[in-house]
Structure 1
């Protein structure tokens, strides 16, 4: 018998572990796109130790997760949610004549899914509370031509630069959407140049991030790309070669998490004190060749037509997509600045609340701008 802690409290309880064998357990953890390894003894406390190891290995991803919220899946996608399940797994694991167990486990969080695990029907019913699970039954067309005109418009120089850089990529990559890593080579060209244009001409706080973690009550995991402006999420892009519908499911789950995050933020955490009113949340799903824009207004889900881009000739398709991205970002910047101006005017009106009292307000749900 091993006493693991003799300084006990409610938060730090005494844990007693009984050795069950002399074997060690070697574990390969899988979490979204990440992998980690650990070794633990085979004891009555092995499952608890496994939960603790998983939490420690991915502490940045699980900052708000309790140890008891973690469970696992084996390679057959069978859940391992308790010490009984874990010991049963070991019972049927072949040690191949060695004094150790080798396990390959996916880390799961109770009542949440990794964004990559969400399917469109489950997203519609479990997150957005639709009775039907068919996207075609709930979607409304997102008319991209209705967006405000660019100010300034994406220059011909930048459009030509995007086309030239893509042409260079097509010389060395024979297939744009061969896999996600290859698709990102092309997607990054579009996002880097459009974000740089907006940063230069519209708002110097504009920043492009990759693999940023986002956690919500239903989902967790990294965002392929996210644009932040004035400390707000402004655009989320999901790369999905060949699987546009899966990408839409992920984006919708991410938009839900993002709106929750904004709802928890204090105005004092921003550089300005104003109330951001309810605004649509927008996402992009792309295979590298096909681009789809999604807007969630809170009342409906709008999805654009597929914009198919040929990476040869004049590349008119990718120039159109690039212009739409700039227009979307500029429109959201204008909206935020208008609301900041509105709050400034209210703050200085006779009889209005003092400015410093506004910092105690919180932002309500669905006020995060994401693409």
Structure 2
């Protein structure tokens, strides 16, 4: 029995490896090879040979299962035999490990911005039943069970962070203690903001005619663009940005005229900004910062 050695690469792995299919003869084909892999590789232990697909190079068409191992074209470290698993009945859905990585990797990168969160202490879960998704095979099973609509499959996933509670689990007393160092049993205990208590606005801080015109024109233009309709949050943000942006322009102009040593970058508007200590709540929609002091936070 002659020895066959192939360069193989699992589709989710960064590099190929040399593999010797012990026990197979020179007349073995990819069907025989698939059955052996399911016995020999732990990641395939719950699969059957028919669950595997084989590709070479940049080809998108899988090799036929009766392709002889000795006939795998141009097999080398630069052109390994690529193994995809398991199959999905919907075109465009990749093998499970790659699909899991595509979903989890962007989530992990975003969560790393939050203090105390690492890629090891968050879990994906399904929104409709709350079940955790512990590995790529569970995720692929969920995708398989989701009925395709117009050749697409849609499912809703959430993220749980170890040691952090969901929004809905916090009481008003806990929230008030965290953010204002007071304990409110109901919203009526919260202090009320009285705009009349603010200092009188200095004349030079009033918007100029040019600034008023820019503000009104901007609102009219966007209202025309959207045909007077605001169907979702993304559309609303276009209008919110006008209010926020014009207010910043007025204050920047006032400070540049009246405050010595003022630098144009001292006052700025930030969008989708991560705050240290946000406790995993995600980015702030709009944040106004004066030098290093946060003076206003706004949620769209």
| Smaller-chain TM-score bracket | 0.5 to 0.7
Partners in 2 of 1:167 and 1:208 — Cα distance? Answer: 22
Give the aligned partner of residue 153 of structure 1: 205
Provide the secondary structure at the position in 2 that maps to 1:225. Answer: strand
How far apart are residue 156 of structure 1 and its match? 3.9
How far apart are residue 171 of structure 1 and its match? 3.0
How far apart are residue 76 of structure 1 and its match? 0.5
Partners in 2 of 1:111 and 1:86 — Cα distance? Answer: 26
Structure 2 stretches lacking a partner, 5+ long: 1-9, 14-40, 52-84, 148-152, 178-182, 256-261
1:72 is aligned, of 124, 131, 137, to 124
2:86 is aligned, of 11, 24, 42, to 24
Partners in 1 of 2:246 and 2:184 — Cα distance? Answer: 41
CA RMSD in angstroms comes to 4.2
Give the aligned partner of residue 277 of structure 1: none
Question: Whose radius of gyration is greater, 1 or 2?
Answer: 2
Partners in 1 of 2:197 and 2:146 — Cα distance? Answer: 63
Partners in 1 of 2:195 and 2:220 — Cα distance? Answer: 26
TM-score (norm 1): 0.43
Give the aligned partner of residue 141 of structure 2: 90
Structure 1 stretches lacking a partner, 5+ long: 5-15, 27-36, 240-371
Pick closer, same or farther for the CA change 1:126–1:72 going to 2, 3 Å.
farther
How far apart are residue 142 of structure 1 and its match? 0.3
Higher RCO structure, 1 or 2 (CA under 8 Å, sep 6+): 1
Pick closer, same or farther for the CA change 1:237–1:163 going to 2, 3 Å.
same
How far apart are residue 80 of structure 1 and its match? 0.5
Partners in 2 of 1:213 and 1:156 — Cα distance? Answer: 33
Please list, as runs of the form range in 1=range in 2, the aligned pairs for 1:214-363 lying within 5 A after superposition.
214-216=275-277, 218-239=279-300
Pick closer, same or farther for the CA change 1:40–1:155 going to 2, 3 Å.
same
Give the aligned partner of residue 34 of structure 2: none
Quick check: 1:213–1:220 contact (8 Å CA) kept in 2? no
Q: Count how many residue pairs are aligned between Structure 1 and Structure 2.
A: 201
CA shift digits 1:212-268 (9 cap, x unpaired)? 2235363331221112221332222111xxxxxxxxxxxxxxxxxxxxxxxxxxxxx
Quick check: 1:70–1:110 contact (8 Å CA) kept in 2? yes
Give the aligned partner of residue 11 of structure 1: none
Q: Is 1:167 equivalent to 2:220 in the alignment?
A: yes
Please list, as runs of the form range in 1=range in 2, the aligned pairs for 1:26-65 lying within 5 A after superposition.
40-41=96-97, 50=100, 54-55=104-105, 58-63=108-113, 64=115, 65=117
Q: Is 1:118 equivalent to 2:170 in the alignment?
A: no
Provide the secondary structure at the position in 2 that maps to 1:234. Answer: strand
Provide the secondary structure at the position in 2 that maps to 1:214. Answer: coil
How far apart are residue 186 of structure 1 and its match? 1.4
How far apart are residue 110 of structure 1 and its match? 2.5
TM-score (norm 2): 0.52
How far apart are residue 211 of structure 1 and its match? 1.5
How far apart are residue 170 of structure 1 and its match? 2.6
Partners in 2 of 1:171 and 1:161 — Cα distance? Answer: 15
Give the aligned partner of residue 333 of structure 1: none
How far apart are residue 93 of structure 1 and its match? 5.2
